[in-house]
Every structure is written in structure tokens, then in C-alpha cells.
């Protein structure tokens, strides 16, 4: 439920960006700076929220974060000026950063406890939330509603999903071997390899964030689609990410996580060539289908690799890789916006293509070292 809440909020926010930029009469460069405010707020909390997990637990932190994030979404389109909007977006980023760290920490605990690849399933629910948020906004805009109604409806949904998650869950009880997990140190070799995985995670979430926040804008500003069509375009992308992640754990077992990572990044790179080379709306929609499916399991595969490489220090490993990765997610949209203002949105998205190619080339860094097991082997059960 917490993953669903976070995904719904991000999906609604991304689908509403064209309407918000029109309402506030801001160009791509200024929109990039507004998105940078979201990044600043999130990074500030991501750095510090780990210290709050032992004191309050992931359950309470997720509830507080969902409530604040939902309220920020409701307030964003009511902002009377760009400065006020930037402050609200900074607050939204801070609460989303809290939610992201807390819910992924709990997901890592559960994956370690079950001894199975289940990270893709959690991220599938986040993608389902993207689809819900974008789909609701697209339908409201198509029916003649405004962006205030869109974000009010989805903001309330984020709060309700968060309350449901808190109500249904129980406080986390550490299992044997988990109590000292955060205190276990990484050796120099582990840290070096995790920095490489973290760099790949940065590129992956840089690409994912750029495509999430700019796909709708690209359809409207470059392909000439309507605002509602742009929102539905993002919904197609998010829907295929959800579909890909539903089967992601099975694909990891069948192909192995390294080959799955290479396949996904390569498919997304090919789709991006189609998006940037063909300006017709139907062709872009078809390319978004392939792009969403391809990129779906790139991040879950990298997070799972962090756990494998970290071993007994899986908690420290996840923290390192997630911090580097989500820096890419938060910085990517703002960077693309500022580059688009200096050149064009089409030209700036070629940076995403380069990032995807680098992931294909560097995927071998996620392979377990000195392991006699096949790369797709599952961790042993307790």
C-alpha cells in the first residue's frame, strides 16, 4: 500500500506538469528549476531519514510521509506564484524522499527474510500507482476538469493508501541476524563494487525520472498532442512498467539478473531512438510501450544486486546504492529541463539514450564475485 501511494502521487505529479507549467506560464528552464526543488527536498531527507528508522520504525514514517506528500499535491496547483509553488514542491520532495527510503528499507528487510527475489513485485505496485495517478489525471482533464481537481483527487488517494498501509501492517520485528545488520561494515572490495552498482543505479533512475517527468511534455510540445493525450501517453509508459515488473521476478530467475538488466536497458535505448526519430503520436505511443517494458526491471535488478554483493552488510549496501540511485532520479528531470531550455527537448533526451547504453556496457558489475552458483540463483531460505 505504501508503494502504491508513492507511485500514485508521482504519476499524478508527472501527468499534471504540462497543465501546471501552462497555468504558471513558465518555460522549460523554469520548470526544470521547480523540479530541482523537489530534488533538493528529497535529498535532504534521504540523507537523514535512516537515523529515524530505528527510533520510529518504517511503518510510522511511511504514514507521516504519505500524509504530507498527499497534502503537498493538493496544495501545489493552488500556489499563487512560482516562488510559492517552488516551496510547496520542496516540501513534497522532502516527504516523498522520506517515504521512498522507509518503504524500500522495509522491502529489503522482507526480501532478506523470505530469501526470494521479490523486489520487482514491490516496484510493480509503485508502477501501478503511476498508472492510477496518471490515468485519473488524464481522465479528469479529458472530461473538462482542471489540474486542481486532478491533484486534489490523487492527493486524497495518496493519504488514504498510506492510512490503509499503516492500518494493515505490523511493527517490524527484527529476525535473527538483522539486529546488527546496520552496524556491519563493508570491506573495501565490496564498497568499490557497490560504488559501480550505485553509478549504474544513478544512470537508471536518471533515465527513469527523465522519461517519467518529460514524456507527457514531449508529446505535447514536440509531437503536437493535446494535454490529455500527453497524460495518457505517460499512463501507457507507466502501465507497461507495471506489467514488466509483475513478471520481473520470474524473468530474473529465467534469464539471470545480469542478462535481464542488459536486455531491459537495450530495449529502452532502442525505443528512445524511435521516440526521438519519429514525431507522430501513434508511433511514440508504441515506442513508449517498449520503453516502459524495457526499463521496468532495471532498478529492481540493481537493488537486488546491492543485497547480493553486500551479504551480511546488505543494509549498508542498500543504503549506499539507493542514495546514489535516487540522486539520479531527482536530478535527472531538472537537468533535462535546463538542457532542453538551452537546446531543445528532443536534443536533451539523447542524454538518456547515452545513459541506457552505459548501463548495458556496465551490467557485468552486478554479477556476484567468487560465487559458484549461477547468477540467477536465489539466496538460501532461513
Q: How confident is the model at residue 373 (pLDDT cuts 50, 70, 90)?
A: very low
pLDDT tens-digit series, residues 160-170: 999 999 998 87
The answer to whether residue 215 scores a pLDDT higher than 60 is yes
Residue 307 lies in a domain: yes
∠ CA 43-208-358, rounded to 5°: 100
Question: What CATH number corresponds to the domain at position 321?
Answer: 1.20.1250.20
SS3 label, residue 159: helix
pLDDT of amino acid 204: 96
Residue 151 inside a domain? The answer is yes
Coil, helix or strand at residue 16: helix
The residue written with cell numbers 535546463 in the block is 338
* Domain with 139 in it: 2-169+186-366
- Report the distance separating Cα 117 and Cα 375, nearest Å: 12
69 within domain boundaries = yes
Please answer whether residues 202 and 304 qualify as being in contact, where contact means their C-beta atoms are separated by less than 8 angstroms.
no
**pLDDT at residue 356 above 50?**
yes
Nine-digit cell at 210? Answer: 527523465
Would you list the DSSP string of 338-373? HHHHHS-HHHHTHHHHHHHHHHHHHGGGGSPSS--S
Query: What is the C-alpha to C-alpha distance for residues 172 and 84, in angstroms, rounded to an integer?
Result: 38
More confident residue, 270 or 101: 270
Render pLDDT for 311-324 as a digit per residue (tens, 0 to 9): 666 556 766 787 78
Q: Which of 26, 12, 146 is nearest to 82 (CA)?
A: 26
Total domains in the chain come to 1
Spatial CA neighbour of 58 closest among 125, 118, 109, 103: 103
φ, ψ (nearest 5 deg) of residue 52 = -85, -20
Percent of the residues in the chain that have a pLDDT greater than 90, as a whole number? 34
Region 38-46 average pLDDT: 83
What does the pLDDT read at residue 370?
54
- pLDDT of 381 over the 70 cut: no
- Over residues 133-138, mean pLDDT: 87
Q: Is 325:299 a contact under the CB 8 Å cutoff? A: yes
Least confident of 114-118, 165-169, 343-347: 114-118
327: in domain: yes
* Arithmetic mean of pLDDT over the chain: 84
- Contact in structure between 153 and 243 (CB atoms under 8 Å): no
3 state DSSP class of 382: coil
Q: Is residue 176 part of a domain?
A: no
* 378 belongs to a structural domain: no
Mean pLDDT in residue range 90-117: 83
Q: Which residues of 43-58 are buried (b: 16+ CB within 10 A; e: fewer)?
A: bebbeebbebbeeebb
Average pLDDT over residues 173-183: 44
pLDDT higher than threshold 90 for residue 67: yes
Examine the pLDDT at 183 and tell me if it is beyond 60.
Answer: no
Looking at residues 142-154, what average pLDDT do you find?
Answer: 89
Alpha carbon separation from 203 to 209, 213, 262 (Å, rounded): 10, 15, 13
Mean pLDDT within 237-265:
87
Of 193 and 184, the one with more pLDDT = 193
Helix (H, G, I), strand (E, B) or coil at 25: coil
Lowest mean pLDDT among 224-228, 254-258, 373-377: 373-377
Report pLDDT for 339: 92
Amino acid at each position: 500500500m505504501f508503494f502504491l501511494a508513492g507511485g500514485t502521487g508521482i504519476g499524478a505529479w508527472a501527468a499534471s506538469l504540462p497543465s501546471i507549467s501552462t497555468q504558471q506560464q513558465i518555460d522549460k528552464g523554469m520548470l526544470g528549476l521547480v523540479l530541482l526543488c523537489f530534488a533538493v527536498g528529497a535529498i535532504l531527507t534521504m540523507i537523514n531519514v535512516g537515523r529515524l528508522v530505528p527510533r520510529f520504525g518504517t511503518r510510522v514514517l511511511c504514514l507521516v510521509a504519505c500524509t504530507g506528500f498527499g497534502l503537498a499535491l493538493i496544495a501545489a496547483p493552488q500556489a499563487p506564484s512560482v516562488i510559492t509553488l517552488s516551496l510547496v514542491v520542496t516540501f513534497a520532495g522532502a516527504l516523498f524522499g522520506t517515504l521512498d527510503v522507509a518503504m524500500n528499507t522495509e522491502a529489503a528487510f522482507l526480501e532478506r527474510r523470505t530469501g526470494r527475489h521479490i523486489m520487482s513485485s514491490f516496484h510493480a505496485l509503485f508502477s501501478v500507482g503511476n498508472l492510477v495517478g496518471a490515468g485519473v489525471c488524464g481522465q479528469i482533464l479529458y472530461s473538462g476538469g482542471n489540474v486542481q481537481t486532478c491533484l486534489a483527487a490523487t492527493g486524497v488517494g495518496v493519504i488514504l493508501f498510506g492510512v490503509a498501509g499503516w492500518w494493515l501492517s505490523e511493527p517490524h520485528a527484527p529476525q535473527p541476524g538483522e539486529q546488527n545488520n546496520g552496524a556491519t561494515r563493508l570491506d573495501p572490495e565490496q564498497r568499490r563494487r557497490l560504488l559501480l552498482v550505485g553509478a549504474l543505479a544513478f544512470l537508471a533512475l536518471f533515465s527513469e525520472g527523465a522519461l517519467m517527468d518529460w514524456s507527457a511534455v514531449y508529446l505535447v510540445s514536440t509531437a503536437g498532442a493535446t494535454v490529455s493525450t500527453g497524460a495518457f501517453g505517460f499512463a501507457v509508459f507507466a502501465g507497461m512498467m507495471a506489467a514488466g515488473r509483475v513478471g520481473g521476478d520470474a524473468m530474473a530467475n529465467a534469464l539471470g539478473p545480469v542478462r535481464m538488466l542488459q536486455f531491459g536497458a537495450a530495449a529502452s535505448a532502442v525505443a528512445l531512438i524511435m521516440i526521438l526519430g519519429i514525431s507522430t503520436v501513434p508511433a511514440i505511443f508504441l515506442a513508449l510501450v517498449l520503453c516502459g517494458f524495457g526499463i521496468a526491471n532495471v532498478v529492481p535488478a540493481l537493488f537486488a544486486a546491492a543485497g547480493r554483493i553486500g551479504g551480511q552488510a546488505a543494509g549498508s549496501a542498500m543504503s549506499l546504492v539507493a542514495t546514489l540511485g535516487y540522486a539520479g532520479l531527482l536530478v535527472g528531470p531538472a537537468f533535462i529541463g535546463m538542457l532542453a531550455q538551452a537546446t531543445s527537448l528532443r536534443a536533451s533526451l539523447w542524454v538518456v539514450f547515452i545513459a541506457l547504453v552505459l548501463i548495458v556496457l556496465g551490467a557485468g558489475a552486478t554479477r556476484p564475485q567468487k560465487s559458484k552458483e549461477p547468477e540467477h540463483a536465489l539466496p538460501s531460505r532461513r
